């Protein structure tokens, strides 16, 4: 087994790797037809402040992605008139530039959304008119992220994601504020050695699930994208052992911008939704009943609840992080 000191050295070494040659830069200006809050829309895709694949610095959102055409670095900045100026570097720069509108919520359809059904939702919708649902179009990345976040604290999940992407991802070109790494390819996830999952802090069931999903990666992605609706996408994803409805919903939200996905099984979500809409806690069944009037837009309601700041007063100490790694 590789000693801990060697892995910590690998972190430092990779983050000092020479910046790849950026090559030509592509630029575009996206002018949204509706109000857009770029940071609120895209920041939800960032996995903690140390995410090696996304950063926010001085008003610029930086993203490192592995596109179908290769790795790419994308920088997005919103101007005073609401437009988004974007630049991209790397072999996948054309794909990244073409994907900017979807990332900024251009495909987010809220035409049948009625915020007036509840005063808190109406108020949050009024105060955050630029909140859109982003779509990354990177389904396996979203799936791997979601699996790392199963049944652990976000701090643990973000730490595991940072370690694995830094160790096994690929540094992207471009003038990033700190080294950024595109996540591994599907084959790259499959070939991560067992000691690395352990040292990153990921539990064996999560590691096995990512490896199994990667073994069926291309066919799994095709099946999800070919599904006609959210239920069909859930069926395709949950056919993999270790992937449940929570993971499927989180994947649909991040990769496909699904406005109706509900992450059933979340440790806190049902309590938050119940408290915001009724003043009382509820369970998953109660949450689904409360959200039923907004079917088709249920995730949008959840985003507005989370953005509103409405939360039940804390009654218990924070969940303690457990670390089962050998020292």
Tell me how far apart the alpha carbons of residues 144 and 202 are, in angstroms, rounded to a whole number. 12
Q: Which residue has the tokens 């073994």?
A: 215
Selection from 222, 195, 140, 174 nearest residue 54 by Cα? 174
Tell me how far apart the alpha carbons of residues 71 and 86 are, in angstroms, rounded to a whole number. 16
Selection from 85, 86, 98, 106 nearest residue 35 by Cα? 106
Cα-flanking dihedrals φ and ψ of residue 84, to 5°?
A: -115, 120
pLDDT for residue 188:
97
Q: Which residues contact 61 (CB under 8 A, 6 or more apart)?
A: 38, 39, 42, 43, 54, 55, 75, 76, 77
Selection from 84, 90, 86 nearest residue 68 by Cα? 90
Give the side-chain half-sphere CA count within 13 A for 45.
Answer: 34
Tell me how far apart the alpha carbons of residues 50 and 58 are, in angstroms, rounded to a whole number. 16
Residue 91 C-alpha from the chain's centroid:
23
The CATH T-level fold of domain 18-114 is TATA-Binding Protein (3.30.310)
Selection from 296, 192, 205 nearest residue 247 by Cα? 205
Residues of the chain with pLDDT under 50: 1-4, 319, 321-327
pLDDT for residue 15:
62
pLDDT for residue 2:
44
Tell me how far apart the alpha carbons of residues 165 and 46 are, in angstroms, rounded to a whole number. 13
Tell me how far apart the alpha carbons of residues 188 and 8 are, in angstroms, rounded to a whole number. 20
């Amino acid at each position: 087994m590789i000693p801990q000191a060697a892995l910590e050295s690998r972190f430092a070494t990779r983050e000092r790797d020479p910046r790849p040659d950026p090559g030509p830069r592509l630029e575009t200006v996206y002018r949204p037809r509706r109000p857009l809050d770029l940071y609120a829309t895209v920041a939800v895709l960032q996995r903690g402040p140390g995410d090696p694949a996304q950063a926010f610095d001085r008003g610029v959102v930086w993203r490192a992605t592995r596109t179908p055409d290769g790795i790419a670095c994308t920088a997005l900045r919103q101007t005073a008139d609401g437009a988004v100026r974007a630049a991209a570097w790397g072999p996948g720069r054309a794909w990244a530039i073409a994907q900017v509108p979807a990332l900024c919520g251009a495909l987010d359809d809220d035409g049948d959304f009625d915020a007036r059904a509840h005063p808190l939702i109406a108020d949050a919708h009024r105060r955050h008119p630029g909140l859109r649902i982003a779509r990354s179009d990177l389904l396996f990345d979203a799936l791997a992220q979601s699996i790392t976040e199963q049944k652990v604290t976000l701090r643990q999940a973000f730490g595991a994601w940072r370690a694995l992407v830094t160790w096994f991802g690929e540094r992207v070109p471009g003038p990033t504020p700190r080294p950024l790494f595109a996540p591994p390819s599907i084959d790259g996830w499959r070939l991560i050695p067992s000691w690395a999952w352990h040292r990153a802090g990921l539990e064996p069931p999560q590691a096995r699930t990512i490896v199994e999903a990667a073994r069926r990666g291309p066919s799994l992605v095709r099946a999800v994208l070919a599904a006609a609706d959210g239920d069909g996408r859930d069926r395709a994803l949950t056919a993999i052992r270790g992937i449940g409805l929570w993971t499927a919903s989180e994947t649909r939200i991040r990769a496909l911008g699904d406005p109706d996905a509900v992450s059933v099984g979340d440790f806190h979500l049902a309590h938050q939704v119940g408290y915001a809409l009724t003043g009382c806690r509820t369970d998953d069944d109660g949450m689904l009943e409360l959200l039923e009037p907004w079917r088709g837009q249920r995730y949008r309601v959840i985003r507005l609840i989370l953005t509103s700041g409405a939360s039940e007063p804390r009654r218990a100490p924070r969940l303690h992080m457990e670390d089962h790694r050998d020292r």
